[in-house]
Amino acid sequence: MGRGRIRADIARVRLPTTFRAREPRTAARSGAVIALVCAVVLSVSTVFGPNSVSSTTRTASWVGAGLVGLLGVAAVSIRPRTLDRYGAFLGIGVGAVLLTASLNVATDDPSAAGQAFFAFPVLWAASHLRRGAVVAVTTLAVAGDLVALSFLLPLEDALFDVVFFGSVLVVIAAMLDRAGAVQAALVAALQQQATVDALTGLVNRRVLDEALRHALDRAPRPEGTALVLVDVDSFKQINDRHGHPVGDDALVHLADLVRRHVRAGDAVLSRLGGDELAVLLPGCPAEVATQRAGELLEAVRSTPMTLPDGALLALSVSVGVAHAPQHASGMRGLYAAADAALYRAKNGGRGRVEVAAA
């Protein structure tokens, strides 16, 4: 197997989401700070504290301080998303637990202060990692404390200390993990509200603008990019005759038809506001975009909406198509070209597709 193949296999390795960080950058920064604090505490205890009593304890303590310092340096030196992708954050939590257990045995330290170091990786993991990693680090911390104390204390005393200290670790980890999950859910809900139209489920104008900017400026394709604007004909009359709830249902119905007839994998579907929808087609030639606009127009014509009383309401849309670079070069110009084409479709009798002028 060649080196290229090996690198490709490594690149495909991905840690399951449940063992990764909620926000890698924050986890890296927090981990670096905790590592620095622990390294300083270990250094002080090596010079002035209980770890200075013998050459063995001093050596073990200095080695521990150096390893913790290296963990902190790694956390701020390597890209957080790279660390997260390959499980480094879980490894940091596990490594910190194993190091703490080893140091407690090497320095002959069964004290509460020595056991307190198990709290650092557990609290950090519960604050920044996802549930699988929290469970793994917390379980290992309790087990590591038990193994370390069993070398240093009679079994009965070791079990008593582990039950007490382990209970504290488990409860705190569970509370922090729950708080983190609730916060993550709230953030996701806010992001959803900020990017998705609540009525139709399509993305909003801000997301469309960003996608269009990316397609035109950051990742242009040889085939170009098409923008299709769709407007419901006589929408005000629908609202006046049937009521605004039916008008909302008409927009939902239209959005469903757009999803059904435009592949989401190569398109961005958006509600611009009011009764106007937009379809962004990166990497789509002008003639293909025009064909797809026509197919959407026919789908709307052939699929009437069912009213609450069971009656059918036929809908009609006008569609404007513009293409970059054929009709415009920038985002503002592409919007203007598509809007002008839509205006011509409206003025030309509605229920039709118009393409921007070259």
Pairing between β-strand 317-324 and β-strand 225-232 as defined by DSSP bridges: antiparallel
Q: Cα–Cα distance between 354 and 345 in angstroms, integer?
A: 5
Minimal CA–CA distance to 89: which of 6, 21, 10, 176? 21
Q: Which of 177, 275, 309, 339 is catalytic?
A: 275
Look up 275 and say whether it is catalytic: yes
Rg (CA), the chain: 31
Beta-carbon-side half-sphere exposure of residue 336 (alpha carbons within 13 Å)? 8
Q: Which two tokens stand for residue 265?
A: 């994998």
Q: Cα–Cα distance between 8 and 14 in angstroms, integer?
A: 12
Minimal CA–CA distance to 333: which of 197, 213, 174? 213
Q: 3-state DSSP call for residue 313?
A: strand
36-to-40, 66, 127, 128 alpha-carbon distances in Å: 6, 10, 18, 17
Q: What are phi and psi of 226, to 5 degrees?
A: -110, 145
């597709």: which residue's tokens? 353
Catalytically active residues are 275
